[in-house]
Structure 1
């Protein structure tokens, strides 16, 4: 067991939020990051990486590259009580402060090389296909359809979405603009229709022309397919623990204005697992991490008074969905935009350089800055 001496912060989950929190706290506390992967990744680049795997050389980053003074336990968290986290390798980790940052359920390989290989396989699958089916019309599905059709205008791309409009996290006006853009590029969009994901499979290892039947009885033929529907919140491991009472109907942890879980003084949550009423986006998860980092530093220094703790205010900031490398649809507080202008809101490198700087990583593995 890893024992604690009063300043142990255990962070469960090494995604974009958990990784940033561990990085910012490592010189202020005894930090332990529990994560089943040996790396974190910049998730909003993953769609582009399916067509250009070279970008993930800079976006799939070993924890060891930025955690110089923290411990990493490569395992899943499978249980927790009021002082200890139990891991899938049988190791227990004691804590003084606990931060839950497990996000959504997602199967990823443990090693970085295996993860990079997944992107190369996706590129090969898309290159070999003359027709591609995308299941799910949220931001990921829309961005993937746009990337494929802009990279290969001759491919037949079909997007099937179960809702009445695309991009339900955005306004109807923004949804309409995205739909118009996709159809102008000859992407077939089928709304209010679903495809049984269990029958379709995940898309890995099931290539070759297949016929898929939608809930409306339409047949879609495709050489390869990608499932881009929403994933469940990764809170199942908390049910049956003392934190289970703070899980809401959607599986999210109920947090207060300081991002503490329920009424607990030493347990925080950040990222997609929280019930903060805002769009679940990576840069907002980073904001969660920075607020909790500041609060933990206050508590570690002096167990300071409540009124000094920083508050997190739910954001209604701009949402931008890229449409290939040049265009985007952006929803700003008072308008929706589509075309080249929103590309300024979300730079062409998709904030990779900025995120690497936040993590203290100055160079890259291929020599770029």
Structure 2
């Protein structure tokens, strides 16, 4: 059993993604902080697509939890259950908490070790390099950015992107969708809209794919970039099952506490906050909860708790390789080189590393 030996309040953070990692870092010198994550590293999530076409890029984007959490503890295991005072992990540990922050986002099946994740990116890159034609299934951010990255680094490849919806990037405005479509076509990416592929029918080593419209596509390799499973599934068998909405997200109040719970917070993609799920907003969640936990653990004064207000003026940037991108800003939508200057060149990796207290240039 982990717990009970410290006079400081124990804050347990479940999930080491953008929100959870930053929260643990911010709290480590104020409380007894413990981070539970099935991986030994924090991965900057929006960089994985570039890492597939340039594996060396991942050396700066995969950060061991122990590199930034120098005054906290890490349990490298999956949380499988919770009570009102304890978290249970897959490896058999029972961890006591005073305050709990849930930040499990999406359930991505990524390797436990940083070394294995780097090898996975290398394997993806080998598939791309050895294939003359590549199929990408899904026209959301992941599919669009992967198509842009491959077309930029390997312009000789025949890249096909298939999307079941009427336009790409349906989570943002049509102007941004149209600009992304034009940029992809300028890179010779074939885009097939309102078509899909039966994922259940795909077998290992598949080379010929038939779309819902009857079109036959031959590809040396394929990548599925549609829907990721929610990271809240494990909570459906816990006392917080009534705190989940119909989409499986945790219902939170203005202080980002799970509704009806005074010592349990939720941040990032796992929350029911009505806003686009973006990394920089997850970081804002972490900042609000860090302030609130510091108040509660030091003063116990709820009257001063910080509130989180969802922004209606959302900024979204989609990278299409290093030199082009699309940006949807509050008052305009732009495409081309300007968004690339803001995001695409480094994908904000240097900034995130500085936020985590690390050398922005170092591996």
Q: Same fold (TM over 0.5)?
A: yes
Would you say 1:285 and 2:275 are equivalent positions?
no
* Deviation by residue 1:88-141 (Cα, 9 ceiling, x = unmatched): 011100111001000101111111100100111111110111000000000110
* Deviation by residue 1:329-354 (Cα, 9 ceiling, x = unmatched): 11011211111112233251111111
- 2: distance between equivalents of 1:233 and 1:261? 17
| Aligned match for 1:42, one of 32, 41, 44 | 44
* Deviation by residue 1:173-209 (Cα, 9 ceiling, x = unmatched): 11111112112222111111111223336xxxx44x6
- Mapping for residues 295-334 of structure 1, pairs under 5 Å: 295-306=292-303, 308-315=304-311, 316-334=313-331
Which residue is 2:171 aligned to? Answer: 169
Does the Cα contact within 8 Å between 1:158 and 1:188 map onto a contact in 2? yes
Does the Cα contact within 8 Å between 1:57 and 1:364 map onto a contact in 2? no
How far off its partner does 1:86 sit? 0.7
The alignment of Structure 1 onto Structure 2 pairs a total of residues equal to: 360
* Deviation by residue 1:25-48 (Cα, 9 ceiling, x = unmatched): 000001111111111111111111
- 2: distance between equivalents of 1:317 and 1:43? 19
SS for the counterpart of 2:280 is: helix
- 1: distance between equivalents of 2:226 and 2:171? 13
SS for the counterpart of 2:237 is: coil
| Aligned match for 1:211, one of 208, 212, 218 | 208
Would you say 1:7 and 2:3 are equivalent positions?
no
* Deviation by residue 1:237-284 (Cα, 9 ceiling, x = unmatched): 101211110111111111111111112111001111111111111111
- Mapping for residues 3-82 of structure 1, pairs under 5 Å: 3-4=3-4, 7-82=9-84
SS for the counterpart of 1:50 is: helix
How far off its partner does 1:361 sit? 1.0
Would you say 1:264 and 2:266 are equivalent positions?
no
TM-score of the superposed pair, with normalisation by structure 1: 0.95
- 2: distance between equivalents of 1:178 and 1:163? 15
Bigger shift: residues 244-253 or 355-364: 355-364
Classify 1:284/1:363 alpha carbon distance in 2 versus 1 (closer, same or farther; 3 Å). closer
Which residue is 2:85 aligned to? Answer: 83
Which residue is 2:180 aligned to? Answer: 178
- 2: distance between equivalents of 1:91 and 1:57? 31
- 1: distance between equivalents of 2:181 and 2:168? 7
Bigger shift: residues 47-56 or 1-10: 1-10
- 2: distance between equivalents of 1:196 and 1:130? 23
SS for the counterpart of 1:338 is: strand
Does the Cα contact within 8 Å between 2:58 and 2:118 map onto a contact in 1? yes
Q: What is the alpha-carbon root mean square deviation over aligned residues?
A: 1.4
SS for the counterpart of 2:195 is: coil
Classify 1:227/1:26 alpha carbon distance in 2 versus 1 (closer, same or farther; 3 Å). same
